[in-house]
Each structure stands twice: as structure tokens, then as C-alpha cells.
Amino acid sequence: MKDEIVEGFLSSKQAKEKAREELALLLDQKDPLFASFSEADIGEPVLVRNLFGDPSYWMVPILNLGKTIGFARILGNGRIAHIGTFIRTLKEIDAAPINVTGISEIEARKIAKKNINSNQGESITDPVFVHDGPIGREAWFVEVKKNDKPESWLFITSSGMYKRQAGNMIDDIIDLFG
């Protein structure tokens, strides 16, 4: 799924501009969160979808020295949901992720392939960057199919992977324990 234009939903270019404006404001106000990053700039937004594949919001990387030091979550209506950093100072720059998704789509695909049984008829869909439940719970989503029927869902992040039966939304899982 490409980052197609959806009527009434902020474009990538608009999301980038919103994030740039917010970052400039924080730098002008000498916000302590961004005090170490006076040379920060904005990168290319990544569309975050819900589990149905619909656009939900943008993750806009905040860059410094070629690394992703932070992010802005920009809602489809243009509102800034959240802005934050992955590191606190430039001394920690080596710990900053290369991209705002933590790992690339290619890396997510490799991890998914390692976690299926292709010799038993399992295959995977292309990874899609989603939020699993609330805003901020981002992961690469891969559906595992067995004989072309959805079997399980994989959620892959830079911190690891979790899996559940296809079709089970996070609310369904939480209700089981409620």
C-alpha cells in the first residue's frame, strides 16, 4: 500500500510542514527536550495505518547528524498528537535509530520469513506499518497465510516480535483478561 492521497486526510507534504513548524517552535522556545538538537530537521513522513489498512496518522522523523533523534505523530486532521525524542543528547547519537519505524520494511520481512513454515504452506503478506490498538503502539504488520487463508498476525518492532491469531483485535485480547 503506497501513501495514497485520501480525501480529508493530511498529505505527506502537509504533515512534514506541520512537524517542521512544531519543531521550530520548540527550538525557538528552547524546550529542554530539544535543547541539545539545535541543528535538527524534519525527514520524510511514514504513513501509519490501522489494522484494516486505513490511514490513521503520520510518523514524521526528526533528524540530526543523519540519525532519527525524534518523531512527531501528526493526525490526519493536522493536529499534533505527540512529539518526542529517542535520545536525550547528541552524546547518545549512536543509539538513535536509522529510521522512524525502528527497523526497515525489508528487515521486518526477513524476520517474518524466519517465523513461518513455508514447507507447510505458510506464506506472508508484505509488511505494513500500523498501530496495533492505541496511537503509539506502532509495528510492522505481517499476515501469515496457510494455503491462502489468514492464520496469524505478526507484529514486528525493533524490540522484538509478537504474534496472535488472525482476526483478533487488541480489544478482543484485552477483554479475555477483563
47, 66, 95 — which closes off a domain?
95
26, 60, 95 — which closes off a domain?
95
Check pLDDT > 70 for residue 10. yes
59, 75, 95 — which closes off a domain?
95
Residue 46 falls within a domain, yes or no?
Answer: yes
Instruction: Say if residue 91 is in the same domain as residue 17.
Output: yes
**pTM, two decimal places:** 0.88
Q: What is the pLDDT of residue 171?
A: 61
β-pairing, 160-165 with 149-157?
antiparallel
The boundaries of the domain holding residue 85 are 12-95
Residue 1 falls within a domain, yes or no?
Answer: no
Q: How much is the average pLDDT of 118-143?
A: 95
Q: What is the pLDDT of residue 25?
A: 94
Instruction: Say if residue 115 is in the same domain as residue 83.
Output: no
Instruction: Say if residue 26 is in the same domain as residue 49.
Output: yes
pLDDT classification of 5: cutoffs 50, 70, 90? low
Note the pLDDT tens digit of each residue in 91-115: 999 999 989 999 999 999 999 999 9
DSSP states along 115-139? TS-GGGTEEEPPPEEEESSSTT-EE
Residue 160 falls within a domain, yes or no?
Answer: yes
Q: DSSP 3-state assignment of 56?
A: strand
- Total structural domains within the chain: 2
